Amino acid sequence: MRELAVKGYYLPEPLRAEISGFSYSVHEFPEQDAVMRVEFPVVTPRFLEKVIAFLKEKKAYLESLPVATIADILDRASEQWLDDTSPKKVAAVEAISLFTGFSPEMVRESIRVEHLSSRRDDLLRALRSELGDPAFLDGFHYSKERGCHSKATGPELTAAIFSSNIPGLPHLSVMRSFLVKAPIMGKASREEPIFPPLYAETLKEIDPELGNCLAILSWHGGDEEIEKILFNHCSVIIVYGSEATCTSVCKRVPPGTRVISHSHRIGFGAVGREALNKKAAPGLAQKIAYDVSTFDQFACISPQVYFLEEGGAVSPKEFMPLLEQAMKTQEQKAPPARLNIEDAAVLRHLHNTYELRELAGENVLMRAAENLSWTVVYEPLKEFLSSPLHRFIRIVPLPDLQDIVNYLAPIKGYMQNAGLAVGEERRAEMFNLFARLGVSRICPPGKMPTPSMMWHHDGLPCLGEMVRWTDAEMF
């Protein structure tokens, strides 16, 4: 039996003496013949106050670093997390895979895509994109547009509530906070408390003093006494979670607090008939399969439905065997997540249903792995249907791609990411349609899981939202 002991927290060295006690959660994985024990410091109000006071003092250190230096350190951290041979990465992949159920290959891929877009150049470009010039963070700097000297200042302390769905993602909030020179107090999800502390360790190894600018703790989400203390001290709060979680946080913060919410969102794809030609179709199928398989659809950027226009050289139905083949290829590259009984019951029920509908001669078609690893369904839906996830994609045929609005209008404001393949001449109309519906990112199929650092995540300038400006109009 494998026994793993994992730390579900990170604290700057001087704060460790303040820990009054630990709690442990023990997780058994009989099918993997493994057991994991996760250690959490008990978070009392007094302890949290101390951590917060300590972190706030470190604001001065961050302010003393040029933003380019911070970007350099973050770049080195990403470089290390991209190295599959680093002992920390190896340990992380094993533990996260066991804990979350994602396959080791998928954990590795997830960390890879998250850190590949987190290099020095990406970080500085993201700052330029949202602030105009990173130099505004280092001191008063002349702005030609404004005709004055300006400085952008990040909060004294950022609070971040991390999610568990994407391994390797919480580093994004840490990077954003450090880029605007704010210390950060992160709450790790009990469902994935492994990666954030390890990432913090990496930062400490590269720059020990930067390692004093963040803490990762965990408590049961919604603990009002604890969270009230945190929210009272942080003027910026980044929240990943369900609608309910984000709404609850928004209700509990003091007036003037900026809450940057990343709640649940839906992704989808749309392919015009001109893209469904014989030559391009097999490659397109591989790209769609990659979009669907990456993160096992547990990301807000993952597609739940792909709309395919009829009338091309390859019909949506003819596309099915290609997609089937491509899903198999993806399964081999990165096997799907472990299925629990509840999720499997839903998938099995759907498989049984489509099997019956197909037998009855309905115009539906299912191609799926017998072991539920992936499912492709051709179905002329009347309205948008969400996927049960776990690589379950519906291919919806549309006589005209413009009809997509009928499916998307009812979920306006809830859409995140659109994979789009249409001819040059149709792009503008589709872009505008998606913009009207509140889609925050449009990309070609095959690129859905890999947004850039510069993307307006959830349609927001996430870095821009974190700073406040001082304009000196005296010169």
Q: Which residues bind other proteins (CB under 8 A)?
A: 163-166, 191, 240, 242-243, 262-267, 295, 297-300, 302, 304, 339, 341-349, 352-353, 355-357, 359-360, 371-372, 383-390, 411, 414
What φ, ψ does residue 442 adopt, rounded to 5°? -125, 130
* Min dist. Cβ of residue 163 to other proteins (A): 6
Residue 202 structure tokens: 């990496």
- Taking the least distance from each CB to other proteins, the nearer of 117 and 304 is 304
- Taking the least distance from each CB to other proteins, the nearer of 319 and 384 is 384
* Min dist. Cβ of residue 6 to other proteins (A): 20
C-beta separation of 442 from 267 below 8 A: no
Residues 378-388 as b or e (16 or more Cβ within 10 Å = b):
bbebeebeebb
Measured CA to CA, the distance from residue 253 to residue 259 in angstroms comes to: 8
* Min dist. Cβ of residue 348 to other proteins (A): 4
- Taking the least distance from each CB to other proteins, the nearer of 262 and 367 is 262
* Min dist. Cβ of residue 203 to other proteins (A): 25
Measured CA to CA, the distance from residue 127 to residue 104 in angstroms comes to: 33
* Min dist. Cβ of residue 176 to other proteins (A): 17
- Taking the least distance from each CB to other proteins, the nearer of 89 and 391 is 391
- Taking the least distance from each CB to other proteins, the nearer of 189 and 235 is 189
* Min dist. Cβ of residue 143 to other proteins (A): 35
- Taking the least distance from each CB to other proteins, the nearer of 343 and 465 is 343
Measured CA to CA, the distance from residue 225 to residue 215 in angstroms comes to: 19
DSSP-assigned states of every residue in 325-341: HHHHHHHHHSPPPPPPH
Residue 57 structure tokens: 């003092």
- Taking the least distance from each CB to other proteins, the nearer of 223 and 243 is 243
* Min dist. Cβ of residue 161 to other proteins (A): 12
Can you give the C-alpha Rg of the chain in angstroms? 23
C-beta separation of 110 from 295 below 8 A: yes
* Min dist. Cβ of residue 441 to other proteins (A): 13
* Residue at 404: amino acid letter: I
- Taking the least distance from each CB to other proteins, the nearer of 177 and 263 is 263
* Min dist. Cβ of residue 334 to other proteins (A): 17
C-beta separation of 155 from 235 below 8 A: yes
* Min dist. Cβ of residue 394 to other proteins (A): 12
Residue 276 structure tokens: 């469904």
Measured CA to CA, the distance from residue 198 to residue 7 in angstroms comes to: 9
Measured CA to CA, the distance from residue 59 to residue 39 in angstroms comes to: 28
- Taking the least distance from each CB to other proteins, the nearer of 272 and 449 is 449
DSSP-assigned states of every residue in 89-107: HHHHHHHHHHHH---HHHH
- Closest to 307 measured CA to CA, from 268, 363, 364: 268
Tokens 């890999």 correspond to: 450
C-beta separation of 472 from 148 below 8 A: yes
- Closest to 452 measured CA to CA, from 182, 203, 115, 168: 115
- Taking the least distance from each CB to other proteins, the nearer of 262 and 287 is 262
